[in-house]
Amino acid sequence: MRLLHTSDWHLGHSLYDTSREAEHAAFLAWLLDTLAAREVDALLVAGDIFDTSNPSAEAQAAWYEFVAQARQRCPKLDVVVIGGNHDSAARLDAPDPLLTALGVRVVGGLTRSRDDRGLERLLVPVHDARGQVGAWVAAVPYLRPADLPFLPDEAGDRLIEGVRAVYAEVLDGARARRQPGQALVAMGHCYMVGTELSELSERRILGGNQHALPVDLFPEDVAYAALGHLHKAQRVGGREGVRYSGSPLPLSLSEASYVHQVLLVELEGEHLASVESVRVPRQAEILRVPERGAPAMDLTAVVKALQALPPAEAGMVEWKRPYLEVCVELPRPEPALRRQVEAALEGKAARLVKITPQYTGTGQALAESRPGPSLKDRTPEDVFLARYAQDYSEPPAPALLEAFHELLTQVQEDAS
């Protein structure tokens, strides 16, 4: 049978106040086409459907529209969805009776009860092209500390061992139900040992980096583990069958170089046959001036580079214009920085989303820059000059220093 693994859609996301709604709509339309064209038997979505726990009406409409379209276009498709750390478990679980009737299993979070009914929600049979059960999915949503069983001190790290206990219980339940020839598949939204994190758009969940989960959470009889949370697609522990699919579009400027994809997983009986990466078309590119890794540029060089960018094409839709980050080396304050950058971009295809200044000063704190006298023994001008040098390599202009003295005089007169 054939599975399609995706995660971290983050519907409702915006990039520096720029809506991604149109990009997400294009991705979901492409995903529907891919599900139909590749004759997928089951879709696995490993968490973070939404960008926030209180998504906008537009984001929720996009999700429900996708579910409706998937059911119409692929009537036999099984859909299994788990909640992520960005999702509200209660919000995802609320329409469960309706979605279950449509053949869509959503597990937003763990129930408080530890009875068989609570476990049953996490055990999902998925069917092959003949309509036979081809695999059992242990669908474990994002686990918060309150979801974990209480363990004695001698058990080791309580968070890690608590997660291990939950996965072991759910996987044991799936093993008890599957028949010979049926694969064991796991789903999780978590942070694993030895993985690469995008600092600008991901968090080290469940207690931080020291609580990264080991890959042996998934025993060797698990044919495939579909993971979510990390936006960069990657294997875990060198295992072909333990994977992050990554996000379908870049969620921060630092993710411009990522390969955004979904994963087509082929199962043969109880075993993994192959995993194929299918790249998601990128609708809006991310540019940086200067390019990442290139030497820093001062404002004059940056303006010249911006003026050399391609012009906007006639009829180009706004949401397909490339995002642009501009990085400028500043040896002195530039009050007109944004105005000069925007003027250089007149008529260009790129749309400015961020200006990142790179200061040429020492970067040292005041105590490091002038060791010796204590702060009370320094004049206000000493402190001002040391703080200025922290950011800028050039001395302050005479006009700026004069303005500082005027302000200082006013403060001293008011205090007296």
- 160-180 pLDDT tens trace: 899 999 999 999 999 999 999
Place of tokens 């081809």: 134
- Comparing CA positions, the residue from 376, 41, 81, 329 lying closest to residue 183 is 41
**pLDDT for the residue numbered 389:** 85
The residues, any chain, with a CB within 8 Å of residue 209's CB and separated by 6 or more, are 191
pLDDT score of 113 = 61
What is the side-by-side order of every strand in the sheet holding 286-289?
A: 286-289, 323-330, 351-359
| Tens digits of residue pLDDT in 252-270 | 999 999 999 999 999 999 9
Tell me what pLDDT residue 262 has.
98
The pTM score is 0.85
- Band (pLDDT 50/70/90 cuts) for residue 209 is very low
Cβ contacts of 350 within 8 Å, gap of 6 or more: 287, 309, 321, 322, 323, 324
Q: What is the per-residue pLDDT for 411?
A: 84
Whole-angstrom Cα distance, residue 172 to residue 123?
Answer: 10
- Whether the per-residue pLDDT at 114 is higher than 60: the answer is no
Alpha helices (runs of H) in 239-374, residue ranges in sequence order: 299-307, 337-344, 366-369
Q: Which of 148-157, 192-201, 216-225, 386-395 holds the top average pLDDT?
A: 216-225
Across 60-76, average pLDDT: 96
Comparing 198 with 285, the larger pLDDT belongs to 285
Both tokens assigned to 174: 């799936």
Residue 201 pLDDT? 57
Sheet strand arrangement including 123-127: 123-127, 133-139, 183-189, 224-228, 239-244, 234-236
Q: Would you place residue 208 in the very low, low, confident or very high pLDDT band (cuts 50, 70, 90)?
A: very low
pLDDT exceeds 90 at position 182: yes
19 pLDDT more than 80: yes
Which residue reads 């990522």 in tokens?
Answer: 258
pLDDT reading at 115 higher than 70? no
Residue 164: strand, helix, or coil: helix
Average pLDDT, the chain: 90
Lowest mean pLDDT among 56-65, 177-186, 286-295: 286-295
Structure tokens at 121: 């929600």
pLDDT of residue 370: 55
* pLDDT for 393: 84
Is a pLDDT exceeding 90 seen at residue 198?
Answer: no
Looking at residue 293, what is its pLDDT?
A: 86
